């Protein structure tokens, strides 16, 4: 998993104690496992993909939503029921574990100081890409 590469870099740069390193890696991998199970389990609770929900927003029984029948995702809607995203679930789990482990969300994942200055900010491109594709 790509997150394990990032976690190894974080451990090498910021966690000098081998016990703490093992603890962070164990917590992160357990969180990723739980997130993956939750994502795939919840995909079959609601069988409406985001693309269909956006197009049919007028018919969902919620007066607060408006449909856009002309909206199209950037890629074809995947051929499986999609409520949540495994990538989003795993990213959320990892960024939360990192924030809890370090006691703050203000930690740079990339080893340099750039415009994203928190774990949760690093999750934003992943979640945004899923929405623009109509994947949920």
Q: What is the pLDDT of residues 110-121, one digit of tens each?
A: 554 444 455 566
| pLDDT tens sequence across 49-95 | 677 788 888 888 888 888 999 988 887 766 665 567 788 889 999 99
Task: Please give the model's pTM, rounded to 2 decimal places.
Answer: 0.61
Q: What is the DSSP string of 65-117?
A: ----TT---SSPPPSS--SS-HHHHHHHHHHHHHHHHHTSS---TTSS--S--
Nearest partner of 28 among 88, 106, 100, judged by Cα: 100
| pLDDT tens sequence across 13-48 | 999 999 999 999 999 999 999 999 988 887 766 656
Nearest partner of 117 among 130, 128, 127, 104, judged by Cα: 104
| Token pair in block for residue 77 | 């809607």
């Amino acid at each position: 998993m790509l997150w394990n590469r990032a976690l190894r870099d974080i451990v090498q740069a910021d966690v000098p104690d081998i016990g703490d390193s093992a603890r962070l890696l164990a917590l992160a991998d357990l969180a990723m496992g739980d997130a993956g199970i939750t994502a795939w389990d919840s995909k079959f609770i609601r069988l409406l993909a985001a693309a269909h929900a956006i197009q049919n927003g007028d018919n969902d029984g919620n007066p607060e939503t408006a449909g856009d029948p002309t909206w199209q995702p950037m890629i074809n809607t995947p051929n499986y029921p999609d409520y949540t995203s495994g990538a989003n679930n795993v990213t959320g789990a990892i960024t939360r574990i990192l924030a809890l482990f370090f006691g703050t969300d203000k930690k740079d994942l990339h080893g340099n100081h750039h415009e994203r200055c928190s774990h949760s900010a690093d999750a934003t491109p992943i979640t945004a890409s899923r929405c623009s594709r109509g994947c949920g």
